[in-house]
Amino acid sequence: QVQLVESGGGLVQAGGSLRLSCARSGRTLSTYAMGWFRQAPGKEREFVAAVSWSGTNSVYADSVKGRFTISRDNSKNTVFLQMNSLKPEDTALYYCAARMVLASTQIPSGYDYWGQGTQVTVSS
């Protein structure tokens, strides 16, 4: 069994920064891509960013390009999301997800494991 646990969320003023972390535990995974998604109340789950196993290939939603950076430390089984220049519209529950292949995808159904989310609230 694989478990993903997000942390680092909180309340921040617009223009501020947060770093989210997602730690994996349980069954060891060989190679896997990781992604971040977010969901606001009444909205569909939205792709934010994803990174390949190597950590060298990453993709971002247009809404966060230039502000967010995804990275990973495979030796520590952790993926990060550095969020800068936060805006009120970034407010959501942020989820990390693992995909059991090298390459990432922007489609939620392409991921096999999900964390329970960490809340990010950005005040104006």
- For the stretch 37-61, pLDDT in tens is 999 999 999 999 999 888 889 999 9
Q: Report CA torsion sign: 74, 26, 21, 33.
A: positive
pLDDT at 45 (0 to 100): 95
User: What average pLDDT score do residues 117-122 get?
Assistant: 98
- The tens digit of pLDDT for each residue in 5-27 reads 999 999 999 999 999 999 998 87
pLDDT of residue 29: 65
* Residue 93 binned pLDDT confidence (cut-offs 50, 70, 90): very high
Q: Secondary structure of the chain in the HEC alphabet? A: CEEEEEECCEEEECCCCEEEEEEEEECCCCCCEEEEEEECCCCCCEEEEEECCCCCCEEECCCCCCCEEEEEEHHHCEEEEEECCCCHHHCEEEEEEEECCCCCCCCHHHCCEECCCEEEEEEC
- Per-residue pLDDT, 105: 85
